[in-house]
């Protein structure tokens, strides 16, 4: 190694130490950590991230039961397979009864959080969502309910919260307005999305945001901006995953995000927000068969196995080659628990609230 190479290497590892010590990094330094290709650097960062996660959450990995209850969506995001413009998507909706029976089955399997995720489907009125949230909380008062149903007005969010919803996931997708506009049609508004996130927080939800990694037009500067946004907004949860093209979307021919960049970001997010709930996502498991294990080893502490009924699973296709579309919930959970223990962690049966929301 030349003296200059040694210097470069030392500098990068020092930045990782600085990040792990909770010290403020400049934008350039964050970019440096994102881009550093020194051998062993990613592992070094992951090790630091693991140490921090274990301080807050030990070896627990929280399991969330994901119920994809509608793939009908009024939006037309350029990246998403269930966009309204995709006439080829086979659409479905689950009834309240079907959703409740997924929860009952999930409860038996040990889940204590249910995530109701769907497209922005106007068929489900505020009252319909309130009714299903109430029913879940009545049947399973020891469970948390997470909603992930997109952008709505504050009054609606408030109604769901009053009905008992605990958490809300709404990825910001990108913290850069211009970039946002390259990923979404003109009817969608970056400012409204950000307003939704602020509303959710004000109401008192545990809030999750997040971005796709390697989405079209994304630059390192955008990712730095995402990290700054996370630092400032301080969400309780952050969901990130690689962008993966879907063949019936305008981004069909774009390149997918990488597993390495995604896990690098997972580690950085863990270090920037030490107590955050951070899932190893299905998209990460889709681009790499060991993606979720790698995610856990990089600081992730949540997984979200699919609880949707088998006959609709293959229809909730945001991107190509999605994993777990052919498995029964029970198989999926068993497989997940095995994957978690294979890397030295434990699948936890608990609500898994953010540390700042834990009931005494
Ligand atoms: N690749 C990866 N993630 C996607 N999402 C939507 N489409 C894709 C895709 N093609 C993500 C978005 C959305 C979440 C539910 O799924 O970030 O918020
Ligand atoms: Fe679903 Fe492995 S997690 S089959």
- Indicate left, alpha or beta for 217 from its phi (over 0: left) and psi (-120 to 50: alpha): left
* Cα–ligand 2 centroid distance for 333 (angstroms): 7
Q: What count of Cα atoms within 13 Å lies in the side-chain half-sphere of residue 9? A: 11
Least confident of 2-6, 64-68, 235-239, 278-282: 2-6
Tokens encoding 327: 């498995």
- For residue 310, the ligand closest to its alpha carbon is 2
* Cα–ligand 1 centroid distance for 241 (angstroms): 8
> Which pLDDT value is given to residue 331?
87
> Which pLDDT value is given to residue 358?
84
Element (H, E) at 238: strand 237-238
> Which pLDDT value is given to residue 360?
45
Mean pLDDT across the stretch 2-30?
93
CB of residue 318 inside a 6 A radius of ligand 1: yes
Give dist(CA 33, CA 19) in Å, integer: 9
- Identify the residue whose C-alpha is closest to ligand 1 atom 18: 171
CB of residue 324 inside a 6 A radius of ligand 2: yes
CB of residue 172 inside a 6 A radius of ligand 1: no
Mean pLDDT, all residues of the chain: 96
| Per-residue CA distances from 243 to 78, 252, 287, 352 (Å) | 12, 11, 9, 27
Mean pLDDT across the stretch 291-297?
98
- Identify the residue whose C-alpha is closest to ligand 2 atom 1: 332
> Which pLDDT value is given to residue 321?
94
Q: Which atom of ligand 2 is nearest to the CA of 332?
A: 1
What pTM value is reported for the model? 0.97
- Asked whether residue 349 carries a pLDDT value surpassing 90, the answer given is no
- Identify the residue whose C-alpha is closest to ligand 1 atom 2: 243
- Asked whether residue 231 carries a pLDDT value surpassing 70, the answer given is yes
Q: Which residues contact 146 (CB under 8 A, 6 or more apart)?
A: 64, 113, 114, 115, 116, 165, 166, 167, 168, 169, 208
Neighbours of 63 (CB within 10 A): 25
CB of residue 256 inside a 6 A radius of ligand 1: no
> Which pLDDT value is given to residue 144?
98
Give dist(CA 204, CA 311) in Å, integer: 35
CB of residue 79 inside a 6 A radius of ligand 1: yes
> Which pLDDT value is given to residue 326?
85
Mean pLDDT across the stretch 290-296?
98
Q: Which atom of ligand 2 is nearest to the CA of 327?
A: 4
CB of residue 330 inside a 6 A radius of ligand 2: no
Give dist(CA 140, CA 166) in Å, integer: 13
Neighbours of 55 (CB within 10 A): 10
Specify the CATH superfamily of domain 58-357: Aldolase class I (3.20.20.70)
- The three-state secondary structure class of 217 is coil
Element (H, E) at 148: strand 144-148
Give dist(CA 85, CA 121) in Å, integer: 14
What is the pLDDT confidence band of residue 328, given thresholds at 50, 70 and 90?
Answer: confident
Tokens encoding 284: 């990460």
The pLDDT tens digits for 163-215 are 999 999 999 999 999 999 999 999 999 999 999 999 999 999 999 999 999 99
What's phi and psi for 129, nearest 5 deg?
A: -70, -45
Q: Which atom of ligand 2 is nearest to the CA of 285?
A: 3
Q: Which residues contact 224 (CB under 8 A, 6 or more apart)?
A: 27, 30, 31, 34
What is the pLDDT confidence band of residue 359, given thresholds at 50, 70 and 90?
Answer: low
Mean pLDDT across the stretch 130-151?
98
- For residue 327, the ligand closest to its alpha carbon is 2
- Identify the residue whose C-alpha is closest to ligand 2 atom 4: 332
Share of the chain above pLDDT 90, in %: 93
* Cα–ligand 2 centroid distance for 62 (angstroms): 15
State the DSSP code for 343: T
> Which pLDDT value is given to residue 327?
79
Q: Which residues contact 157 (CB under 8 A, 6 or more apart)?
A: 168, 196, 199, 200, 203, 205
Give dist(CA 312, CA 303) in Å, integer: 20
Which residue carries 């946004």 as its tokens? 229
CB of residue 332 inside a 6 A radius of ligand 2: yes
Cα 295 to chain center, whole Å? Answer: 12
From 66, 283, 305, 310, mutation site for ligand 2 pocket: most ligand atoms within 8 A of C-beta: 305
Give dist(CA 217, CA 252) in Å, integer: 14
Give dist(CA 299, CA 45) in Å, integer: 9
């Amino acid at each position: 190694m030349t003296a200059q190479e040694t210097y470069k290497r030392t500098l990068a590892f020092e930045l990782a130490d600085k990040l792990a010590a909770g010290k403020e990094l400049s934008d350039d330094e964050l970019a440096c950590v994102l881009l550093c290709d020194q051998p062993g650097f990613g592992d070094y960062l992951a090790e630091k991230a693991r140490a921090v996660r274990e301080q807050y959450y030990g070896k627990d990995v929280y399991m969330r039961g994901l119920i994809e209850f509608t793939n009908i969506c009024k939006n037309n995001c350029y990246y998403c397979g269930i966009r309204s413009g995709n006439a080829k998507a086979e659409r479905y909706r689950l009834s309240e009864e079907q959703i409740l029976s997924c929860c009952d089955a999930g409860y038996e399997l040990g889940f204590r959080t249910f995530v109701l995720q769907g497209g922005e489907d106007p068929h489900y009125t505020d009252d319909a969502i309130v009714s299903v949230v109430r029913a879940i909380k009545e049947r399973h008062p020891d469970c948390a309910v997470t909603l992930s149903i997109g952008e709505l007005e504050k009054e609606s969010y408030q109604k769901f919260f009053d009905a008992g919803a605990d958490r809300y996931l709404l990825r910001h997708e990108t913290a850069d307005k211009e970039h946002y506009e390259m990923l979404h049609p003109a009817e969608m508004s970056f400012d409204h999305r950000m307003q939704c996130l602020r509303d959710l927080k004000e109401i008192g939800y545990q809030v999750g945001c997040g971005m796709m990694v390697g989405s079209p037009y994304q630059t390192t500067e955008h990712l730095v901006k995402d990290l700054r946004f996370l630092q400032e907004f301080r969400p309780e949860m952050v969901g990130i995953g690689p962008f993966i093209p879907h063949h019936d979307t305008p981004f069909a021919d774009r390149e997918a995000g990488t597993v390495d960049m995604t896990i690098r970001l997972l580690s950085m997010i863990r270090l920037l927000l030490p107590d955050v709930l951070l899932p190893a996502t299905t998209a990460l498991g889709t681009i790499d068969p060991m993606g979720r294990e790698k995610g856990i080893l990089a600081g992730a502490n949540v997984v979200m196995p699919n609880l949707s009924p088998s006959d609709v699973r293959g229809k909730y296709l945001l991107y190509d080659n999605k994993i777990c579309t052919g498995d029964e919930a029970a198989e999926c959970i068993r497989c997940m628990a095995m994957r978690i223990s294979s890397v030295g962690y434990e699948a936890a049966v608990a609500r898994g609230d953010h540390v700042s929301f834990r009931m005494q």
